[in-house]
Structure 1
Amino acid sequence: MLESSVSKGSAKTPRTRARRWLCFLTLFLMVAILMLIFNSSTELSLIFWKTENINNLTTSHVTISSSPSPLPYLVAYPNQYHFILDEPNRCHQESPFLVVIIPVAPQNREARDIIRNTWGSEITVLGQPVSHYFLLGVSKEQDGAQEQVLLESQRHHDILQSDFLDSYNNLTIKTMVMFEWLSTHCPKTSYAMKVDSDMFLNIQNLIGMLLNTPRHLYMTGRVVRDAAVLRDSNSKWFMPFSVFPESSYPPYALGLGYVFSLDLPKKILEASAHVKAVYIEDVYVGLCMRHVGITLTNPPNDGLFRTSVPENTGDCYWTSVITTILQNSQQLVDVWRTYQSQAQSGC
């Protein structure tokens, strides 16, 4: 019996000790958890206090200039864009002295027809052949416009359309695609001009000027120098510091209309591999020109490339300029009639 009692007492001791250790372990874990919660709460409170005080200090003593994301102000170039409508052999076959490229929205058929019936109808000027092409992207509107563009292309053979989205912010892409096309399609052409669809263009004066200008590394138009970078976010031409930190732009020709020798497109395209593409297309061309060390040339007369119509245009005005921006394409019909009248009167 004694042996049996001792055996039972010995059997209880390990279980009792196990229970005691379990109790101690549970208590220890509870204390540890409570301390962790307390420390975390204290640390969070401290972080909040520091953040709140730093924010108060920043707000009251430092002016923060918010820098917008650079993404809306940069464009996807260089990139692989492809022509869905092209005239692959025409420029080579015609070998024009001058190629005029008119960027225009796909849906703006009216502007194209007006140009075809006005200054775009002049295909031989001062003995020099001239070719005209309309440059389009693709419209985001799926309303049958593409079918109309295709029919128009088949009729006139003057449309170049690439597969980028045609929008204001993609004008740089449009311009660089123009340089791509010119560099590969017009090997015997001396000059090209980029001109907007709402412009009056006096090709007679343009050819007359080009017959007396260099045929290499040449670009002219309405040349802008020392233009300040606009930091006002409400401006149409706003440029954030994060995209372009300089205070002024290098010289560039206004995108309304500029002319260049046909050795420039290749050099501008080479520069584009090293220059960040911004959405202001004429500025970007100027940046590429600076990168390759080519300077722009002022026109022989400051009044040749005009940005607005003067109040008085009766004294041979239209026969004295090369370009003038108009309010819209429809105004070109009236201006063209006046120009022809002035030219016939001996202006």
Structure 2
Amino acid sequence: MDHFFRRKRLGLLKSLLSLSLVFVSFVMIQKLKLAENVGDKQPNDADWCVPECFTFKKGIVAKPAPESSVSTVRNRELDAQRSSNGTPTHWDAQVLNCSEDASVKTKDWFQRLDSRFHQFVLRRHCRYFPMLINHPEKCTDGDVHLLMVVKSVIEQHDRREAVRKTWGKEQTINGRKIKTLFLLGKPSTGKDDKNLQKLVEFEDSLYGDILQWDFMDTFFNLTLKEVNFLKWFHIYCPSVQFIFKGDDDVFVNTQNLLELIDFKVDEDKVGDLFVGDTIAKATPIRNRQSKYYIPKELYDKPYPPYVGGGGFLMSSVVVRKLFMASEKQELYPIDDVFLGMCLQKLAISPQMHPGFRTFGITRRRVSTMNNEPCFYKSLIMVHKLSAPDLIKMWNVVQSKDLVCAQRSSI
């Protein structure tokens, strides 16, 4: 009898979970519609469209926005130029067909390897994936001075909304055009992936700022976001000048970032520009409980200098060099270390800048300094903030009522 009631309670619990998911999905859709209305956007088919009429079906890439005749001619000229030097003019990874490398299983080191790394190693040769959502027009809308590229996952809609309302807002400042893109994979299995996919497709129909590839959005796959974006940028962004790449839970002082770019341009130091919170003389973490644990069988030497992945600035020259180097570099499960390996191949040293705070203003989370607006006003990037805290801090820092005695340093 107890077994019967346990089964009955389990069935009721599953029903409640399903209803909760439906309710959350409904609330997210309403928030997205509200955001669209606040933005004074014109009505479109997505306002009333049922799920079956979304255009972003699996394997189908979003069409670019209509272009003016001038930009169309310019884009054709760029396509011809890229074709002549061997650069693809479109995303050419159309079919997902990557099986395990069975030969690895016979290696002694693989048999000793921690099992959580098996799938990564067996498919480490799988590099480029089909695109589910693409926006090739993003970089061709005139000369883009700064491209904000943000790593995110489908469930973190609130973080993307906060970024769009703050430092990731697309705008033109003193003639310098700023554009924003969010990088996504697919929702992991078991997370109601079909409904989540519909939600992100609807979100993109409102904002048009999402790039999505056909691989699972897991920690080990963050490196896939790096290499797929590098290739995407190489194909579609011939005239972008600078790229800020970061997480969706950071604060970025856009004005200070632009000032840093101006300084580097004035000093003629953009050819090898890769700047952030540099980590040097680091070694792999051997603690099995750590998120960043790496077994000796996978990597057994010190890391090259690398920049914390919370946020960093690069010139387009460096991004193109990184793409070439990344194609010859074996994938590594920690994405910012992987970029450090590519930089090492290029003999480029990442530059340390105190304005980038990967670990917060101070590593002591309870410190009041982590909530002091005058520090945020003087820094470039601070990691990490929740979506409400990001919006709150942004509004305080932008306020004319904020008075700081001087530019703060720590």
For Structure 1 versus Structure 2, the TM-score category normalised by the shorter chain is 0.7 to 0.9
| Contact 1:87 1:159 (C-alpha < 8 Å) held by counterparts | yes
Highest Rg: 1 or 2? 1
Distance in 1 (alpha carbons) for counterparts of 2:323 and 2:372: 42
The counterpart of 1:106, out of the listed 140, 154, 160, is 154
Q: How does 1:276-295 map to 2 (within 5 A)?
A: 276-295=330-349
Could you give the per-residue CA deviations for residues 277-308 of structure 1, whole angstroms, max 9, x where no partner exists?
Answer: 11100000101111122221222xx2443521
The counterpart of 1:82, out of the listed 130, 133, 151, is 130
Q: Which has the higher contact order (CA 8 A, sep 6+)?
A: 1
| Contact 1:73 1:243 (C-alpha < 8 Å) held by counterparts | no
| Contact 2:373 2:396 (C-alpha < 8 Å) held by counterparts | no
Could you give the per-residue CA deviations for residues 200-230 of structure 1, whole angstroms, max 9, x where no partner exists?
Answer: 0111100100112122222011010101221
Q: Which residue of 2 aligns with 1:209?
A: 260
Q: Which residue of 2 aligns with 1:92?
A: 140
Distance in 2 (alpha carbons) for counterparts of 1:204 and 1:153: 27
Q: Which residue of 2 aligns with 1:4?
A: none
Could you give the per-residue CA deviations for residues 51-110 of structure 1, whole angstroms, max 9, x where no partner exists?
Answer: xxxxxxxxxxxxxxx653653564635523122111112211232111011111112211
Q: Which residue of 2 aligns with 1:298?
A: 352
Distance in 1 (alpha carbons) for counterparts of 2:352 and 2:385: 26
Distance in 1 (alpha carbons) for counterparts of 2:300 and 2:358: 30
| Contact 1:180 1:265 (C-alpha < 8 Å) held by counterparts | no
Could you give the per-residue CA deviations for residues 154-206 of structure 1, whole angstroms, max 9, x where no partner exists?
Answer: 21111111111111111111121121121211111111111100000111100
Matched, 1:323 2:381: yes
What TM-score do you get using the length of structure 1 for normalisation? Answer: 0.74
Identity %: 25
| Change in CA separation of 1:343 and 1:322 when aligned onto 2, cut-off 3 Å | farther
Q: How many residues align?
A: 279
Q: How does 1:241-320 map to 2 (within 5 A)?
A: 241-246=296-301, 248-299=302-353, 302-310=354-362, 311-312=368-369, 313-314=371-372, 316-320=374-378
Q: Which residue of 2 aligns with 1:182?
A: 233
Could you give the per-residue CA deviations for residues 225-267 of structure 1, whole angstroms, max 9, x where no partner exists?
Answer: 1012212222211111221121x21000111001111122332
Q: Which residue of 2 aligns with 1:127?
A: 175
Matched, 1:71 2:118: yes
Secondary structure of the residue aligned to 1:160 is strand
| Contact 1:103 1:195 (C-alpha < 8 Å) held by counterparts | yes
Secondary structure of the residue aligned to 2:395 is helix
| Change in CA separation of 1:286 and 1:78 when aligned onto 2, cut-off 3 Å | farther
Question: Aligned-pair distance for 1:123?
Answer: 1.6
Question: What amino acid is the match of 2:131?
Answer: F
| Contact 2:310 2:358 (C-alpha < 8 Å) held by counterparts | no
| Contact 1:86 1:160 (C-alpha < 8 Å) held by counterparts | yes
Distance in 2 (alpha carbons) for counterparts of 1:68 and 1:315: 44
Q: Which residue of 2 aligns with 1:225?
A: 280
What TM-score do you get using the length of structure 2 for normalisation? Answer: 0.64
